[in-house]
Structure 1
């Protein structure tokens, strides 16, 4: 089973100004240190990591050197890989450079310790491209991307490691004007949204059970899938959940086969592995698939047309999994499984995915083949 890839980022200057009445650390870190402020961001992150310490054999931490993450992670016994050499005196530009490097690492989660300024710096680079979770360590915590306490942030990560259903939600990145704040004026501003893992929300938007409610859930999933499509090709896998996408588009569907659409037009139906590869060689494509209920397979059961060569060509980031929360919950925490016939590819495909479970509704769920060695 592949390891959980945890991006770790500590802003060593976060919260420095609070204890010395500077109401923040933006631009006044040197003054705060001169006034006797003691850096505490690493202690806040330590509290969060303590919650998942017993899972450290399952985790690879990818981080920056020294106080930006490496030192604490190594002291706690985690497996660590350093991707950025931090200077002795860090700044906001270092946070942005670290995040830029982390974006190429296919993280399962970016866990960071800081305040609203740190969240803004991360958002400036990452936008909502990866799930993030903040450990509150700053003076100003107006953003919705943080756990309510460091321990709470650690508990959310623990839920992911234990395979619980964890919903993804968009949360606001907020910050205030510290200069005005020091003068007693609060001027908060919204800068955007980042994807944040929240506590699981098992109750669906419509009542469970019955054909009508099932259709409403599938219609919501289909609507979100259609929004994710673009002008390039979309490969539509087999199964009734994915078939709902074709129904929503008003297109003929091969329930037990694989179809190909471009925009909202059907290009070809019931394609073989060779045909799919030929169609997609010169074009970008997104692959829409679902899982087999009760088993959890997303590749290698009923969709062998999706060959290893095709999957490599499409790329992991373009695989979009559609499923109802009812189907996922029925797995009772077991991971989704890939069985493409290529063990190396199967191993590369493991990790946490955003699974579409409704309209603008996602959960994080793990793909992890138990029979694959690390």
Structure 2
């Protein structure tokens, strides 16, 4: 066994804007909480560290105060060698931390002789960390944000824990460079994706547990999207409420219907008519209360392979449970599936039990009267293509 000294920093506000359809948390955390959003970052990190509670003697931490790391580690019984001193604020209260706190904590990590920086957040948090460490120290992100384009994150919290377990066991030693990317959230909320490369960081080399960089794959396949859309629209039942997920692939369905589309949000359609646009988790649950038949149409994030947990947090565990796996329809071009190079679709709802239940094979619409079967995995369960 190897002893691992980890620098842990948590962005407590990460992901707050997802469930309330704000498509991010930068500068809107207070608004998100006013709309009923609940912080999930602590829960995500706890899920990652749960598998490591039997390795306490082989793990020690340097961390930030309060909700930025100290509180969770203490509650789980991990050894904390040092709590970084930041500003004179009560970091045990939500909303007190800032990006500058993250950067100051990481600066202290670089002087503390740590082996790995473990962090929870989204692309903004990755940017903050990259601005300090660059490629000096290996990092591993626990996905907790709304938009995660960067390739420095584990595919889900459980995968992060499994990867650390491998490092302690001496099974994993290599690292590779991975891109840190972020988008303009103001433009994002207007339906425009403007991504930019901010640098690279080193991540543990384990392709099964670390996600790939988000990439597109539809520009050369517009005719295929038209075929997929025609198939979906032709088979729509007038009595069913359809939840249309985010992305350019599902947008083709709305175009086929002649309806306005929220490119980066979730829309509702029934009897070929728009029922509601850019809905939140609460609004989805309300519609599920009043509809007897509901189906979800979602696509696959190119390169990464995620179907849940990246940019569609409105589709919460409660929403997905109410729907049932049998009412989930996945659409994707064959080119996008081939770009996964044999990796399964990834499921990261934030609920490990649900993720496990959603594992298995899915029928995926890939064209007009054309479909394939493809496996989905929580990143832990071994589902072979």
TM-score under structure 1 length normalisation: 0.52
Unaligned runs of 5+ in 2: 209-385
Return the alpha-carbon distance in structure 2 between the equivalents of residues 200 and 97 of structure 1: 30
1:128 corresponds to which residue?
A: 135
CA–CA distance in structure 2, aligned partners of residues 98 and 35 of structure 1: 30
1:198 and 2:205 matched: yes
Aligned to 1:82: 83
Aligned partner of 1:205 in structure 2 is: none
Q: Which residue of 2 aligns with 1:303?
A: none
For residues 173 and 37 of structure 2, the distance between their equivalents in structure 1, rounded to whole angstroms, comes to: 37
CA contact (8 A) 1:133 1:153 kept: yes
Residue 11 of structure 1 corresponds to: 11
Shift of 1:84: 2.6
Q: Does the 8 Å CA contact 1:167/1:200 hold for their aligned counterparts?
A: no
Matched residue, 2:25: 25
- 1:137 matched to 2:138? The reply is no
Q: How many matched pairs?
A: 201
| Partner SS for 1:174 | strand
Cα distance between partner residues in 1 of 2:32 and 2:63: 26
- Are the counterparts in 2 of residues 168 and 195 from structure 1 also a CA contact under 8 Å? yes
Deviation per CA, 1:347-373: give whole Å up to 9, x if none.
xxxxxxxxxxxxxxxxxxxxxxxxxxx
Going from structure 1 to structure 2, the CA distance change for 1:33 and 1:200 (only over 3 Å counts) comes to closer
Q: Do 1:143 and 1:175's aligned partners in 2 also have CA atoms closer than 8 Å? A: yes
CA displacement at 1:200 relative to structure 2: 7.8
In structure 2, the CA distance between the partners of 1:85 and 1:43, relative to structure 1 (3 Å rule), is same
Q: Could you say which residue in structure 1 is the equivalent of 2:171?
A: 164
Matched with 1:46 is 46
Rounded to whole Å, the distance in 1 between the matches of 2:188 and 2:124 is 14
Query: Which of 142, 155, 177 lines up with 1:148 in the alignment?
Result: 155
Secondary structure at the counterpart of residue 43 of structure 1: helix
1:2 deviates by 8.0
* CA displacement, residues 258-293 of structure 1 (integer Å, 9 cap, x when unaligned): xxxxxxxxxxxxxxxxxxxxxxxxxxxxxxxxxxxx
C-alpha distance in 2 between matches for 1:138 and 1:18:
8
Q: How do 1:242-261 residues align onto structure 2 when only pairs under 5 Å count? A: none
Please say if residues 7 and 114 of structure 2, whose CA atoms lie closer than 8 Å, have aligned partners that are also in contact.
yes
- Please identify runs of 4+ aligned residues in structure 1 that moved more than 2 A: 84-88
Deviation at 1:91, TM superposition (A): 0.9
CA distance in 1, matches of 2:78, 2:149: 31
Among residues 108, 113, 116, which one is paired with 1:109 in the alignment? 116
CA-based RMSD: 1.6
Task: Show the counterpart of 1:184.
Answer: 191
Gaps of 5+ in 1: 202-374
C-alpha contact 1:63 1:84 (8 A) present in aligned 2: no
SS at 2:142 equivalent: strand
SS in 1 for 2:84: strand
